[in-house]
Structure 1
Amino acid sequence: MTPLAQIIVQRIRATGPITLADYMEICLLDPRHGYYATRDPFGAAGDFTTAPEIHQMFGELCGLALAQAWMDQGRPAPFTLAEAGPGRGTLMADILRAIRKAPGMAEAAEVTLIEASAHLRQVQRNRLGAVAHLDSVEELPSKPLFLIANEFFDALPIRQYQRTNDGWCERMVGLSDTGLRLGLGPVVQLPRDGRPGDVVEECPAAPAIAEAIARRIAAYGGAAIFVDYGGWNGYGDTFQALRNHAPEDPLARPGEADLTAHVDFAPLAAAAIRAGAVASRPVRQGDWLLSLGAAQRAERLTAAGDAGATAALRRLTHPDEMGHLFKAMAIWPKGAPPVPGFDALRLHADHA
């Protein structure tokens, strides 16, 4: 039993079963034994590989999309260039290199990272130098905001509900004779249809974060791009753990495996619209990157001697790889041109 498992067991014995959201928060962010507090999980030596770690073209294309949005909005200066959940700083490093193609943009950018892990903050400083760190998006300054969030929302704590013959019941983490187990709490009121056995997930923090970002963009200008795996108003149990690049029982090793769930983009879009901004419909990552010129970029890199560019292009864009599972959506101010590769979602806030 891991040290964190012992802490969780003691808590459940003292106060009763906990929600999946509480379990995820403890496992990922406990300051002594939490997953992100104790390790660098990225890349071949870690537990998973994100798109920026696969190849530089992902970050470059994200940067060029933000650069076009910045130019379309009159080149505001200064502005906040932010990333939520910046990992090792790889994506931001590639974005900073790409935006130098837009004269004046890099000089006007005030790089700001939203990061909860003290360990990863140091990793980011080592790569990027002096950057501002914030604990939450609510702390972002009141100025134009150009923000990227890649595989950020999937790590936010979720709550799960399972339909029974009596109604919806929240799935809770409790105890068995051998360790942790999932069980059902009392019946709760949930405004969702379903049949016995159906599971739905909610991420309480995600809409509030999207709304805070969109509120700044609506008021001061800018753009945000969210990239993650997920869908739209999805049903099903997507709670998962990854350790050493392989799936694992999410309750098996608390604090030693990455815990995530698929992102429901519908509440994010609705929150952005409530905040007064424009939200796009989600598009497949592969389609979005190809629309930005990923294939042509891979050809140029291959011609320049980058032997891995073709394989990386496939991994990022092919339907059997990340191309269809991962989606991207964008937020921009009313009256501004769309962020490259996106179309406005035709949805009224009161129906969202």
Structure 2
Amino acid sequence: MSFAISNVSFKSLAVVLSYNLRLCRKYSYKTVRRPDSAFVSRKLTAPQVEHMEEKQAPNDLTKHLKAKILATGPITVAEYMREILTNPLSGYYMNRDVFGREGDFITSPEICQIFGELVAVWVVSEWRKLGSPTPFQIVELGPGRGTLARDVLKVLAQFKLSKEFSIHMVEISPYLSKVQAQRLCFSTETINDENSTHYLTGKTASGINIYWHKRLEDVPRKFSIVLAHEFFDALPVHKLQRDGKQWKEILIDVNKADTTDKNKSLPFRYVISKAPTPVSHLYQPIPEETRDSLEYSLDTDRLISMMSDRFECEGGIGLIMDYGHFGEKCDTFRAFKKHQLHEPLCAPGTADLTADVDFRQIKRIAEENGKVICFGPVEQGSFLKKMEGDARLEQLLSNALPENHDIIRSGYKMLTDPNQMGKRFKFFSIFPSVLKEHLEKFPVNGFQ
């Protein structure tokens, strides 16, 4: 059945899936209470930016960053992001649940189960088109609450694949790894061996092994299907600005008391480097680059290069789902707090920091050595509809109580509507270049 799924209607597949999922609810995975998408939509689309200039008591990260800057000089935006998001003691992601209605933002898998189900169908279809290699592993980068993994596991179990694969979560947050384990696992075990490549392991109710790693480097080198949903947007970025023929870097400094800046109440301010920095020397713009300012992520380059090498040597495919652009945007660095835009330089550690993913740079790095080929980015709404999301919606509605119809419809609309998440969020896939001719004959689903 290696290639049969490429010729099967996804509508028929979704019918089978709908029936099988109803059967598994009684014994498999914990249910997830989907949010009120009307509330989420209102919050996410609010145009007002809160500058948060009111006086606030400085938190631990503010004091830490000020001391660091006063001791060593202005720091890069990337270093600022890394400290705020992943500082072991006070980092934004490290010690709390930041997702959902009560958090600062919400992600697509939390809004509607259709998202995760269709990602799972994509995984199964592309895996079978490649000859169903076994055993294989699903690797998720930055799994959040584990909702996407939960939905993917649920679907793959219905295709009788539980004995064919393992799950590997790349997660640095001790708190979130516990949340994920509680959602996914029937039993867990903490690993205290310093030589172990994973720090937590568990098993689902259907017998699937799950491992937690702090780095992609620690994941076993085997055929892997790598999923990254809203992961690359949280990686640190350097902000560069063109100065004649040179690139200089935007840095973050302590805001001086005598500044005339309109945001003088903020603890920090942006400054431009007096000379090129190591990163501005390292960055190589494409010949046709027209922007005078941009954001560049060294961490993204490193991870994409690593994924490309793995796909070429061990086999595998990648699916990146994130908001981003194809090299046309300049300044996208921002913060979110309580579903509203927030001043990134205010109260560090209390809000999420993010920057749009530059898919043109990802494609450039991935394909530069000819190891892999890339498809996309395509808009999220387009991808979900090509994967027969509309058919899956109607099946859910036919089996749902009438009072739940509006919630289900509004959730799916939020994912696909161009004015909400349908246009801004993108899908991008990576395959080994050896499959180029094969994929011309059997195009990648959702990207045609």
TM-score, length of structure 1 as denominator length? 0.92
Aligned residue identity for 1:146: I
Deviation at 1:47, TM superposition (A): 0.3
Q: Distance in 1 between matches of 2:82 and 2:303?
A: 16
Q: Distance in 2 between matches of 1:28 and 1:97?
A: 30
Deviations 1:185-222 (A, max 9, x none): 12325654557xx3211011112211212222222322
Who is 1:37 aligned against? 94
Identity %: 35
Identify the range of structure 1 (269-278 vs 54-63) with the bigger mean alpha-carbon deviation: 269-278
Match 1:218 to one of 290, 312, 317: 312
Q: How many pairs were matched up? A: 340
Structure 2 portions without partners, runs of 5+: 1-57, 186-201, 203-209, 258-264
Aligned residue identity for 1:322: M
After superposition, where does 1:164-175 map in structure 2 within 5 Å?
A: 164=243, 167-175=246-254
Is contact 1:73-1:222 (8 Å) kept? no
Deviation at 1:342, TM superposition (A): 2.2
Any idea what SS the aligned residue of 1:37 has?
coil
Identify the range of structure 1 (266-275 vs 109-118) with the bigger mean alpha-carbon deviation: 266-275
Q: Distance in 1 between matches of 2:377 and 2:360?
A: 9
Is contact 2:379-2:423 (8 Å) kept? yes
Deviation at 1:122, TM superposition (A): 0.9
Q: Note closer, same or farther for the CA distance 1:23–1:275 as it changes in structure 2 (3 Å cut).
A: farther
Deviation at 1:235, TM superposition (A): 3.3
Structure 1 portions without partners, runs of 5+: 344-352
Backbone CA RMSD of aligned residues: 1.7
Aligned residue identity for 2:225: F
Who is 1:138 aligned against? 217
After superposition, where does 1:1-352 map in structure 2 within 5 Å?
A: 1-103=58-160, 105-129=161-185, 130=202, 131-164=210-243, 167-176=246-255, 177=257, 178=265, 179-188=267-276, 189=281, 191-192=284-285, 193-194=289-290, 198-273=292-367, 274=369, 276-305=371-400, 306-307=404-405, 308-333=407-432, 334-335=434-435, 336-337=438-439, 338-342=443-447
Aligned residue identity for 2:363: A
Deviations 1:218-277 (A, max 9, x none): 223222100100111233110000001101100101111000000001222223223612
Q: Distance in 2 between matches of 1:270 and 1:199?
A: 19
Q: Distance in 2 between matches of 1:292 and 1:43?
A: 26
Q: Distance in 1 between matches of 2:446 and 2:314?
A: 22
Q: Distance in 2 between matches of 1:15 and 1:101?
A: 56
Q: Distance in 2 between matches of 1:106 and 1:203?
A: 36
Q: Distance in 1 between matches of 2:385 and 2:275?
A: 46
Q: Distance in 2 between matches of 1:32 and 1:169?
A: 32
Is contact 2:95-2:174 (8 Å) kept? no
Is contact 1:43-1:53 (8 Å) kept? yes
Q: Note closer, same or farther for the CA distance 1:221–1:191 as it changes in structure 2 (3 Å cut).
A: closer
Is contact 2:139-2:224 (8 Å) kept? yes
Any idea what SS the aligned residue of 1:5 has?
helix
Deviation at 1:168, TM superposition (A): 3.0
Is contact 1:158-1:204 (8 Å) kept? yes
TM-score, length of structure 2 as denominator length? 0.73
Aligned residue identity for 1:122: K
Any idea what SS the aligned residue of 1:110 has?
strand
Q: Distance in 2 between matches of 1:191 and 1:331?
A: 22
